[in-house]
Structure 1
Amino acid sequence: MPSRTLVTGATGTVGSFLVRELSKRGEPTRAAVHTEAKAGRIAEANIEIFEMDFADKASVDAALKGIEKVYLLTPFSPGQVEMAGFFIDRAVEAGVRYIVRQSAAGAETEAITLLRGHRMAEARVEESGIPYTHLRPNSFMQNFVNFFSDSIRTSGRLHLPLKNAAVSYIDARDIAAVAATLLAGSVKEEHVNRAYALTGPAPVTMDAVAAAISRATGRPVQYMDISPAEAKLGMKAAGMPDWAIESMIELYEFQRDGRAERVSGAVEEIAGRAPFSFDDFARDNAAAFRAAA
């Protein structure tokens, strides 16, 4: 059956889970990837792998051919608003009927650079006239695997500039479950032209995060609070560009101010099940945090 749903960012943290969810639900899906070489992890039944470059009109138009529904996630970059706008214009031309846009928790506040960019991209979707649903997830639990597992494995320490702030982190599997519910089958009219904050079941401090990983791995993990200046140096050493470092420092300040504690019931409302807790996530990913024997 020809693909009806296009997933952008299909090899990413959320996209890879979403592709699997759509496959399980029998939704014919086209997975947009930057290069097919990275697509092995998302090879599933009902999934068509398609190379797409957000900056290239011909490849975007080809990716959108015959597509009715889109999961739109643009890369984290200084030009993501322009990228989103370009893609949405092409989606209008292609006759796309529904867009699920992955945004960020707090986008409506436009309080920091990251959130202003997401809100601007949301506005481009709204102005297009295509029916939409905005998903605004909080920071991902998977970030602790993607960015901090090396330090946890080698030193048993987690370094972040968050003091005793609590954040209602969300498991990317829950974002995928919500998105798959919206995209599989017919469009769910009750969720059209709405925005949903997506969070885990409770806000957790970094001490609680460290304790959960300790329980899951059976070895002590300690949270070490660092200054924003120290965090900047660490990100610089990891090769992050200046614009990304400044964006992350703003996000950490936003979280330290208690603005990422909110808990939403949207995962259960849409996906029909409770979201994963941080303990659930830590248990399911314990191997990523364990030192080699």
Structure 2
Amino acid sequence: MTSHKPTVLITGATGQIGGDTLRNLLADKTITLVAAVRSHAKAQPFTAQGIRTVIMDFDQEHTLAPALEGIDRALLVTGYTVDMLRQSKAFIDQAKKSGVQHLVHLGACGRDDTTIGHWAWHQFVERYIEWSGFSFTHLRPECFMQNLLSYDGTRAVINGVIEQYTGDTRFSWVDGEDVARVAAQALLHPQKHAGQTYRLGYDVQSYGDIAAIMTRLLGQPFRYDAQSPDVFVQNMRAAGAEMAYMTCVQDNFTRMAAGQIPGVEETFDNFSQITGRQPVRWEDFVQKHRKVFAY
């Protein structure tokens, strides 16, 4: 009698965290990987690597049941719009009907009592997953270091100038690749990580601190130019971003700059226990992406 080989669905497979999670799982032969993509064109790179794909679009609910058929575990990653609430509920409901056992949910920052809008939305999704009776692992990454590479397609560091919106506040950061490493472990070993909410943040720096680190490591001057959160909203509107979500981000930045969000400077000691390695810190990240930052 052969043991069942779990099938693991990765949503957001063409994005950063989903894609990194999938790459972390590629070499593991104890599971069958499935990448969820929105079109046959997006499936081609995965198919070329021998990775099974399914067509799934959060906004096309009829695609959910076929995509989730035969899936044992799933990574749930939604986009940066208020639609994430409706999308997550539909996905969770169908996952329950399809017999999915374990859900790993990519959420947002914050303590349980947060009132930052989009952070709270993710906590509603967490509670719905629990209410639905799944085995679960909730991931709450602090600020992504990758935001210094780009945000919503816009470069964040140009000619040595960091234009951001949080004043001089120091807060907690995580490399997105480290978030993916935790997600991969939660998908590989659900019995070990079931019922856990992992807050993921390992280095506390302000943007001014980060500019100083870049200056020291790259041998070029970098500086932080603090902007009003109103500028952020104008930029996001011009970029065509979904404004219900981005208005929450503006509130986040405004309250961050004013020092009005408890816990933003917290770091956590869970990473090495989960992954067996040390988390990336800002010095590591700057060295890793020095070609992007240099000018």
Query: Does the alignment reach a TM-score above 0.5?
Result: yes
More off after superposition, 213-222 vs 75-84: 213-222
* Residue equivalent to 2:238: 237
Per-residue deviation, residues 17-48 of structure 1 (Å, max 9, x unmatched) = 10100103333211112234345666685622
Q: Counterpart in 2 of 1:78?
A: 82
Partners of 1:2 and 1:234 in 2: CA distance = 47
- Secondary structure at the residue paired with 1:252? helix
Cα deviation for residue 134 of structure 1 reads 0.5
* Aligned equivalent of 1:212: 213
- Over 3 Å counting, the alpha-carbon distance change for 1:174 and 1:57 in structure 2 is same
Aligned residue runs from structure 1 range 46-195, under 5 A: 47-106=51-110, 108-147=112-151, 150=155, 152-153=157-158, 155-184=159-188, 186-187=189-190, 189-195=191-197
Q: What residue number does 2:222 align with? A: 221
Give the whole-Å Cα distance in 2 for the aligned partners of 1:56 and 1:242: 22
Query: Could you tell me how far apart the structure 1 residues matched to 2:228 and 2:103 are?
Result: 39
Task: Give 1:278's match in structure 2, choosing from 263, 282, 288.
Answer: 282
Q: Secondary structure at the match of 1:203?
A: strand
Which letter maps to 1:192? A
Letter of the 1:251 partner, please give it: N
1:162 is paired with a residue of what secondary structure?
A: coil
Larger mean CA deviation between 280-289 and 25-34 belongs to 25-34
Match of 1:266 in 2: 270
- How far apart in 1 are the matches of 2:175 and 2:46? 18
Q: Deviations over 1:151-192 (max 9, x none)?
A: 523x321111211111211001111111111112x52x2421
In structure 1, distance between residues paired with 2:155 and 2:44: 24
Partner of 1:5: 8
- In structure 2, distance between residues paired with 1:40 and 1:170: 31
CA distance in 2, matches of 1:31, 1:75: 16
Identical-pair percentage: 28
Distance in 2 between residues matched to 1:209 and 1:22, nearest whole Å: 31
Task: Give the match's secondary structure for 1:108.
Answer: coil
The equivalent of 1:287 in structure 2 is 291
Over 3 Å counting, the alpha-carbon distance change for 1:161 and 1:70 in structure 2 is same
Identify the residue that residue 30 of structure 1 maps to in structure 2: 34
- What SS does the corresponding residue of 2:225 show, helix, strand or coil? strand
Aligned-partner Cα distance in 2 for 1:29–1:178:
17
| Range with bigger deviation, 142-151 or 109-118 | 142-151
CA shift, 1:102, in A, is 0.8
Deviations for 1:42-81, whole angstroms, at most 9, x for unmatched residues? Answer: 6685622322111333311111111100111122211211
Whole-angstrom distance in 1 between the partners of 2:73 and 2:103: 6
Change (3 A) 1:151 1:221: same
Q: Which amino acid aligns with 1:250?
A: D
Contact 1:101–1:135 (CA under 8 A) maintained in structure 2: yes
Alignment: residue pair count:
287
Task: Give, in whole Å, the separation in 1 of the partners of 2:37 and 2:213.
Answer: 34
User: Which AA in structure 2 matches 1:61?
Assistant: A
Q: Which runs of 5+ in 1 are unaligned?
A: none
2:73–2:187 CA contact under 8 A, matched in 1: yes
**Alpha carbons of 1:43 and 1:179: their partners in 2 closer, same or farther (altered >3 Å)?**
farther
Change in CA separation of 1:253 and 1:116 when aligned onto 2, cut-off 3 Å: same
* Length-normalised TM-score, structure 2: 0.89
Alignment partners' CA distance in 2, 1:177 and 1:211 = 28
Provide the secondary structure at the position in 2 that maps to 1:109: coil
- Partner SS state of residue 140, structure 2: strand
Check 1:80–1:21 CA distance in 2 against 1; reply closer, same or farther (3 A cut).
same
TM-score (norm 1): 0.89
Gaps of 5+ in 2: none
Offset, 1:216: 4.4
Looking at structure 1, the residues matched to 66 and 285 of structure 2 have their Cα atoms a distance apart, in angstroms, of 37
